[in-house]
Amino acid sequence: MSPKAIAYKSNSIIYFKGDIADRVFILNEGKISLNFINIETGQEIHELIKTGEFFGVKSALGRYPREETALVLNDSRVISFTVPEFEQFAAKNTRIIITMLKVFSNQLRRIHKQVQNLIYAGDQINPETGLYRIGLYYLKIKKYSQAIYALGRYLVYYPSGKYAEEATSNIYLAEDYLQKYGQGEGPVINVDSSIPEVDKPAKEKELSGVGKDYYRGVSLTSEGKYSEASNIFRTIIQTSGDEEYKLKAQFEIGKCFFHTNNFDNCIKIFTMLLQKYPKHPDLSEALFYIGQCNEKKGEMDKAINIYRKVLSLTPEADPLFQKADRSLRNLER
């Protein structure tokens, strides 16, 4: 095997945020944008890739899901490396390594500055407190999705941390407000003077433990440890009295089945889930996984129908729409 050239049409997607990262790319010709969310403002950033520049390096080498979506703006041609191919290539080209170090250094300085702004520059606080404050910052400005993500990451990195209980409570609060009022709406939350109370203290205690387990399972999934993650999700389903996390755990098990090529069980669990919860918030994503399973099993007609259903339910601006559209077009060629 050797690096291969791949041509992409305008408006196609090379990879989506959250995709499993196993390849590094270099732009040979064309125009490509990396789209991601600014951690300081919550706004989407579009970062253009220059000709000859690598992208997708950090997530591939670190073996974690993509942190951005790579969108093709004009017809482009890229060179795709597997991680071993890229490591072999970089080892023979020290200039490449130095260039990447400069790029990563600039990115780290930029991120450091943003984080300092978020956590009130000048304060001498440790990373644990800083990460928790980022979650509170987003909660205060009613960016509930970002708050859930930041506080969830806190629980991943500090499952027994000194703010673990509060982080879990605030995730619960953010999810509740997101559902009731929507992103950017809702009552004022004064997180500077006190942490909002959840009015179900008994349930909060149970939720804290279940929440920690759930996010530990999600973390294992992101590391590709699907068997360990599935065991955690099964325990939540079998022992927890919290319906919300049981529902989330069932969804995550379906994803684990898919990534371990257990397509029949993946279809079965997502179908059962959607029959039981026809208003499931992740209905489109569950259908997409079913379509992917059908495609992997060679059931192309079923896959095409499922992808069309996903497109009918998903806004065009949603990355899932692009993934379903790409899959459908590939099958209809």
What DSSP line would sit under 99-163, residue for residue?
Answer: HHHHHHHHHHHHHHHHHHHHT-TT----HHHHHHHHHHHHHHTT-HHHHHHHHHHHHHH-TTSTT
Interatomic CA distance for residues 120 and 140, integer angstroms: 14
pLDDT at res. 274: 81
pLDDT at res. 139: 84
Question: Any residues with CB less than 8 A from the CB of 290 and at least 6 apart, and which?
Answer: 266, 267, 270, 271, 306
Read off the tokens for 33. Answer: 């944008």
Interatomic CA distance for residues 73 and 90, integer angstroms: 27
Contact criterion met (CB below 8 Å) for 223 and 64: yes
Interatomic CA distance for residues 290 and 304, integer angstroms: 11
Return the C-alpha torsion angle 98, 101, 106, 109, nearest 10: -140
- Amino acid identity, position 192: D
- Amino acid identity, position 229: A
pLDDT at res. 205: 40
Please state whether the predicted TM-score (pTM) of the whole model is above 0.85.
no
Using the CB atoms, write b or e for 256-285: b if 16+ within 10 Å: bbbeeebbeebbebbeebbeeeeebebbbb
Q: How many CB atoms lie within 10 A of CB 109?
A: 10
pLDDT in tens, 299-329: 999 999 999 999 988 877 677 888 889 899 9
Return the C-alpha torsion angle 160, 162, 164, 166, nearest 10: 160
pLDDT-flagged residues of the chain (< 50): 121-123, 193-207
pLDDT at res. 298: 93
